[in-house]
């Protein structure tokens, strides 16, 4: 179940909206495989981060998710536009329309996402 704070990307217009929003504040995107146990763990870490971070008004951030099996073409489109090789699970942190951080698989942790939020350019 998605949190009220997380919006699912379905089509290229949703991706364009995420890029546009990243002009005002960071946008964190999870590329999630709904059939993969590793992705399920990453999803839990992502959602734990959202649960603790979404209510912090000092650090505004948008949260998005792409289900890669259900939206394979959008996932490929994002990889092409960002020039970040697709992996699943994968998180991308956008700022000013650019990927400033990305990681995948077991490196997706609440702790890492908190570090990115506290120091996005560090």
Domains of the chain, residue spans: 6-113
Three-state SS sequence of the chain: CCCCCEEECCCHHHHHHHHHHCCCCCEEEEEECCCCHHHHHHHHHHHHHHHHHCCCCCCCCEEEEEECCCCHHHHHHHHHHHCCCCCCCEEEEEECCEEEEEEEHHHCCHHHHHHHHHCCCC
- Encode the chain (122 residues) as per-residue pLDDT tens digits: 467 899 999 999 999 999 999 999 999 999 999 999 999 999 999 999 999 988 877 878 999 999 999 999 999 999 999 999 999 999 999 999 999 999 999 999 999 999 999 887 66
6-113 CATH choice from 3.40.640.10, 3.30.750.24, 3.30.1300.10, 3.40.30.10: 3.40.30.10
The structure's pTM equals 0.94
């Amino acid at each position: 179940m998605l949190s009220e704070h997380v919006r699912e990307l379905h089509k290229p217009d949703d991706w364009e909206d995420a890029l546009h929003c990243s002009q005002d504040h960071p946008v964190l995107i999870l590329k999630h495989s709904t059939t993969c146990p590793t992705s399920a763990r990453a999803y839990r870490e992502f959602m734990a981060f959202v649960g603790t971070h979404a209510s912090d008004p000092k650090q505004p951030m948008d949260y998005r998710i792409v289900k890669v099996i259900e939206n394979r073409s959008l996932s490929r489109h994002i990889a092409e536009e960002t020039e970040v090789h697709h992996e699943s699970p994968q998180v991308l942190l956008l700022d000013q329309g650019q990927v400033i951080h990305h990681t995948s698989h077991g490196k997706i942790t609440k702790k890492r996402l908190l570090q990115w939020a506290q120091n996005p350019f560090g």
